[in-house]
Structure 1
Amino acid sequence: MSAPSILALSGGVGGAKLADGLLHAAGRGRLTVAVNTGDDFTHLGLHVSPDIDTALYTLADLANPETGWGRRDETWTFMDALARLGGETWFRLGDGDLATHVERTRRLAAGEPLSAIVADFARRLGIDADIVPMSDQALRTRVQTDEGTFDFQDYFVRQQCRPVTRAIEFVFAPDTRPCATLERALADEALGAIVICPSNPYLSIAPILAVPGLRALLRARGVPIVAVSPLVGGAAVKGPTAKIMTELGVPVSADEIVRHYGDLLDGFVLDARDAHLRERMALPVHVTDTLMLSPADRVHVARETLAFAAALHHKP
């Protein structure tokens, strides 16, 4: 019998760390990482896919260890020259990173789907996992704030998340659907678990679940769907999760994350610092240390999550 395959839903840094742990914990099982592309945008004429690239760089062991995003040992000659010419520098593209965006833009313009380009990049970077965009069609995240409505990167990077969030919307065409590689991963008879990584539930995972038909496909697959809490000790490790929750008027608490995902989940991995919240959750909960400060931590959380999912799968 073949080892079970795994499907992970991921946003940026936190999700990519767990995806890396899952890659090393999966054994001979195939890992597919479906990544948020609601953050994608056109900048300086280039198609930029921040979460996709974070997944690629992390699983290829190329990511900047200090930031979690971008490339290790990056240089900034292009940005320095652009600044001298008066160009837009609010979204910084390192020289090595720039090559990724240039090549992706060229191939998209030639008619290749994003999923094929990402698969080829992953192969060339030596990644033994399938990294796939949630859709080959554009689905864009927009943030409604007290200062107007912003495209995601405008809100997240240019505005530094400062405006008060009022609502989050997703804009997409009627023909938007999950990418074919993601659909094949869901149809895989060896699929043993679906893991929702500890990415921002509102800005990173919600766009994935907003792809028409995907939430129903996930739920209908009949394998355990387990989410790992993005909160550690009632706070986000990185990013604006807690700020967004407060401004949307919901408690900054792991049990609120469970309520947010609703009937999609079969189980929840809760950080040990929040163990007192376990009794508030009306679904199976596994408590462990979810803080991923080292590669060994990533593998630890991944193994705990997969063992939990396997126990749910075999529960009578």
Structure 2
Amino acid sequence: MKKHILALSGGVGGAKLAAGLASVLAPEDLTLVVNTGDDFEHLGLTICPDIDSVTYALAGLNDTERGWGVKDETWQAMAMLRALGEADWFNLGDRDMGMHIARSWRLRGGDTLSAVTARLTRELGIAHAIVPMSEAPVRTQVGTAEGWLDFQRYFVAEQCRPVATGVRFEGAASAAPSPAFAAALERDDLGAIIVCPSNPYLSVDPILAVGDVREALERRKVSLVAVSPLVGGASLKGPLGKLLGELGKPVSNASIADHYGDLLDHLVIDEADAGDAGDLRARGLSVTVCPTVMWHADDRERLARVALIAAGIETG
């Protein structure tokens, strides 16, 4: 039976479902491919926000109250940097900074991002494969009236205030999928592809833009299931609702379905959006309506099972 699952994830909401999938699937049955378009260099460190969000979620270290970073965090290093007059627009907790230091010096020693990620996740007791979408740098940029802004400058420093006119992924066309990502796409036992509830434009599109990934997905012979990041016609976290409006699209599940287009076989939507199901089904999509907000571990596991069932995968 084909049962390997390839999941595509950004941070925060995507990381929650990634943790849910890891709780119900054996390590050999799951590959978690994570967006690296948000990555950037800051204070001499290589920071991979989405990889870290997924890693902390699977390791049980994520701060569920803030929605990002490590729980029980302290901020002494940041306070010293601020006192020394260094950039303080991107907050780095002390424990989180340890992750960035470990990653950065190993990358500078010649290790690949995949190798470094595998080592760090293993040291944190994670058995499932968390892999970057590419070894090559791909950088998400948001178009504004003042020009193109790197994602973290737009998202953190500017707090998403500038009106977005477009999104692009610098370096994506010439980048190749990471070895583990490419291998997962070609597995004989690939059973389904699950797109976690991440921002389609800012978290999933960078993955699809890498090399020939979109073409590989178009050739697939298995179901692709996406979990909508919208709840009650709005995004729980992040700028998706604002971005959709500024790009001239309704903040609705129809926009999510339109965006994924022919790649999408099945959309899982929240019960607050049950009224969208009829129109989505009329366009030929399969739709599952269920609670999609993941407050606790039980919620993450339940939604993971719903997504797997939607993909035709039996769960124990």
* Shared fold per TM-score greater than 0.5: yes
Q: What amino acid does structure 1 have at the position aligned with 2:22?
A: L
Aligned pair 1:180/2:179, yes or no?
yes
Q: Is the 8 A contact 2:20 2:301 kept in 1?
A: yes
Q: Following TM superposition, where does structure 1 have runs of at least 4 consecutive aligned residues deviating by more than 3 angstroms?
A: none
Matched with 1:87 is 86
RMSD between superposed Cα atoms in Å: 1.5
Aligned pair 1:261/2:260, yes or no?
yes
TM-superposed CA distance for 1:188, in Å, is 2.1
> Partners in 2 of 1:296 and 1:114 — Cα distance?
31
User: Which sits farther off after the overlay, 60-69 or 166-175?
Assistant: 166-175
Q: Is the 8 A contact 2:36 2:132 kept in 1?
A: yes
**What are the within-5 Å matches in structure 2 for residues 273-288 of structure 1?**
273-281=272-280, 282=283, 283-288=285-290
> Partners in 1 of 2:159 and 2:302 — Cα distance?
32
The count of corresponding residues between Structure 1 and Structure 2 is: 311
Q: Is the 8 A contact 1:229 1:268 kept in 2?
A: yes
- Residues 295 and 277 of structure 1, relative CA distance in 2, 3 Å threshold: same
- Residues 311 and 126 of structure 1, relative CA distance in 2, 3 Å threshold: closer
Q: What amino acid does structure 1 have at the position aligned with 2:207?
A: I
- Residues 28 and 98 of structure 1, relative CA distance in 2, 3 Å threshold: closer
> Partners in 2 of 1:173 and 1:304 — Cα distance?
32
- Residues 29 and 275 of structure 1, relative CA distance in 2, 3 Å threshold: farther
Matched with 1:166 is 165
Matched with 2:305 is 303
TM-superposition CA deviations, 1:196-227 (whole Å, max 9, x none) = 01000111111111101011112323111000
Q: Is the 8 A contact 1:134 1:178 kept in 2?
A: yes
Task: Tell me the TM-score normalized by structure 1.
Answer: 0.95
TM-superposition CA deviations, 1:199-256 (whole Å, max 9, x none) = 0011111111110101111232311100001001101011111000001110000111
Q: Is the 8 A contact 1:25 1:302 kept in 2?
A: yes
> Partners in 2 of 1:236 and 1:249 — Cα distance?
16
Q: Is the 8 A contact 1:4 1:29 kept in 2?
A: no
Matched with 1:240 is 239
TM-superposed CA distance for 1:147, in Å, is 3.1
Gaps of 5+ in 1: none
Matched with 2:292 is 290
**What are the within-5 Å matches in structure 2 for residues 114-133 of structure 1?**
114-133=113-132
Secondary structure of 1:285's counterpart equals strand
Percent of matched pairs sharing the same residue: 51
> Partners in 1 of 2:113 and 2:225 — Cα distance?
27
Task: Tell me the TM-score normalized by structure 2.
Answer: 0.95
Matched with 1:56 is 55
TM-superposition CA deviations, 1:47-97 (whole Å, max 9, x none) = 100000011111100111212211111111100111111110110111111
Q: Is the 8 A contact 1:14 1:198 kept in 2?
A: yes
TM-superposition CA deviations, 1:145-174 (whole Å, max 9, x none) = 123321000000000000010111111066
Q: What amino acid does structure 2 have at the position aligned with 1:310?
A: G
> Partners in 2 of 1:14 and 1:254 — Cα distance?
16
- Residues 28 and 39 of structure 1, relative CA distance in 2, 3 Å threshold: closer
